[in-house]
Structures are given as structure tokens and as C-alpha cells.
Amino acid sequence: MAGPRRNRLLAEQAVPADGEERKSHPPGTPRRGRAVRSVTVNLAESPLGWLRARGHLSARQFDAGERLRSDWERALLAPSVTMKWDAPPMEKVARGAPRPDDPTIAQISAKRRFDAAAAAAGPGLGDILWRIVCAGEGMRDAERALGWPARAGKLVLGLALDRLADHYRIG
């Protein structure tokens, strides 16, 4: 049991409120500011985290990819696994403007941010971003699906993440 735990790349991440930036801290590192809550995550869980942990991506590129993935998840763009069994509301519909924390408004905003970021990446680069960052495909699988030669994906992904970081104004 000690072997698999030793290979884990763990970091503490603050769970931000909407609109705040996500920051990663190695365990035991002091944090500036006050986080609402934090979780310990395995950085090698996602293909993007795996590439970052091995020095293939800069912190800027990783943060840009994480922001794109966050918008992807908030917009609920991933296919649903099961049927939604939520009952429709039975009470009268309240009149007036929708509340700012209405999930539909947050979902629509995230979809707009995702579409703007994908457009900023440019034609041809959105495919690799979606496959690696959003769908969580491994680099080898993404290269094979796109019909690219081996090791071309890392270079193209780096270019796409740089454009994404410029779009998000990540310094």
C-alpha cells in the first residue's frame, strides 16, 4: 500500500467562490488571504495535472486549462449519465428579475465564457483543448483520435494553452 501512495502528487487547493481565481498550494505551504474551504487533490488525476506535475506545462498554462475546465463543468456541457429525476416546482413562479445565484444564469454565463475562450484559442486548437482539458483524454488517445503523429499533441496543446492564458489575462 505504501507504493501507490508514494507516487501520488498531492496539493491543497482552495475552493473558490464564483468569479475568484483558483490557487494551488503544496501541503504545508502558507496561504495568503482567507479561503472558504480547501481540499487535497491528486494533481496526477487529470491529463493536464499529469503534464504539469512532470514539467511539460507552465503554471500559467495549467491555470488557463483549469479555468476552461471549470467553465466547462459549470456550464454542464458534459453528457448526462442518467435521467434527471428532479420534480418540477409546484409553487407559483415568483415575479421579478431572477436571482443572481440562479443555477441557470450561472450555467449560461459559464457557457458564454467557455465559447469565448474556445474562440480565442483559434481554429484547430479547440479540438486538443476539449479532448485533454474537458474530456480528460490522455495525450496518446487524443493524438490518435485527431490523426496526429506521436508527441505532436504536447506542442499543440502548449500553444493552445498559451492563447487561452492570453485570453484569460493570466500573467
pLDDT digits (tens, 9 = 90+) for 11-27: 666 666 555 554 555 55
pTM for this predicted structure? 0.67
Give the residue, 124 or 96, on which the prediction is more confident: 124
Query: How far apart (Å, rounded) are the C-alpha atoms in residues 114 and 77?
Result: 10
When the pLDDT of each residue in the chain is averaged and rounded to a whole number, the result is 79
pLDDT-derived band at 1 (thresholds 50, 70, 90) equals very low
Contact assessment for residue 114 and residue 72, using Cβ atoms and an 8 Å cutoff: yes
**Alpha-carbon distance 86 to 91, whole Å?**
14
- Cα distance between residue 51 and residue 100, in whole Å: 36
Element (H, E) at 3: helix 2-6
Distance CA 107, CA 110 (A): 5
pLDDT tens, position by position, 31-56: 555 556 676 766 567 899 889 988 99
Q: Which helix (H) or strand (E) holds 86?
A: none
Torsion 95-96-100-104 (CA) sign = positive
**Which of residues 69 and 4 earns the better pLDDT score?**
69
Where in the chain are the domains? 9-42, 45-77+102-171
Q: Which grid cell sits at 28?
A: 504545508
